[in-house]
Amino acid sequence: MAERPLTLMAVHAHPDDEATSTGGVLARYAAEGVTTVLVTCTDGRCGDGPGGVKPGDAGHDPAAVVAMRQAELEASCAALSVTHLETLGYADSGMMGWPTNDLPGAFWTTPVAEAAARLAELIRRYQPDVIVTYDENGFYGHPDHIQAHRITMAAVEQTDVPAKVYWTTVPRTAFAEFGRIMKELGVEWAEPDATEPQLGLPDDEITTWVDTSRYGVQKFSALATHASQTENIFFLQLGQERFTELMGMETFLRVRDRTGAPTPEDDLFAGLR
């Protein structure tokens, strides 16, 4: 009997999240023969509409945004050679404090146990060796990212399937480089507020550094499929080469491990192959 391929599952909040923080690992591991599973929790209805129309503005049609973003998500998965796409279909909650946080069906108001049970079913079906999601703050405090973290960790506890679990992060030195490039390109850049929680981690606390620069074309192409979302335009304006230079290393914090692989490591599957 053939040995089961290794499997990576990435759990993300919205269409386009898969491209920014895990586009490289999804493309790299697919190229290495790993089965890749993307779980997208919300429908993205609080994103920009056609023509850049913002939520709450005249002409913003949530149903049309959902359809557009689903098509973009499928195109992104094709660019990254994702093996399986699963969408949970919860309503995008919008940014923290928006009225959409509390609407019926919003992901933020969905009981964690309910959504975790659905994710646990997918974990049992796909048997991922490695799961990737966000940290407790959803990296930057977005309610849907926080909720994705909560349901993922609850589902992991229920199933006890993955050998390794990671949270996406960014080294603090990368933020400094990002700010430098923004200023170099003439983009207004505000220094982080010292009173706010710092994003990312000190470099020496990051456990896992995965070089995905060989897959910069695919990562850039995946993000380009989501060009309807204005927050992505800056990255696309960098051009493929500069984008890869800036985004070609994807970094993670390992929070669960049954392999005993030493850290720092350069492979999400260290200890499994």
Give residue 1's pLDDT.
Answer: 42
Confidence band (pLDDT; 50, 70, 90) for 190? low
At residue 175 the predicted structure's pLDDT band, cuts being 50, 70 and 90, is: confident
The predicted model scores a pTM of 0.93
Domain segments of the chain as ranges = 7-257
Question: For 13-56, what is each residue's pLDDT tens digit?
Answer: 999 999 999 999 999 999 999 999 999 999 999 999 988 899 88
> What homologous superfamily is domain 7-257 in, according to CATH?
LmbE-like (3.40.50.10320)
Mark out the alpha helices in the chain (DSSP H runs).
Answer: 17-31, 62-79, 112-126, 143-159, 172-184, 216-224, 233-237, 239-247
pLDDT of 102-149, one tens digit each? 999 999 999 999 999 999 999 999 999 999 999 999 888 899 999 999
Cβ(179)–Cβ(234) below 8 Å: no
For residue 129, the 8-state DSSP code is S
Token code pair at residue 250? 């994807």
Distance CA 226, CA 70 (A): 10
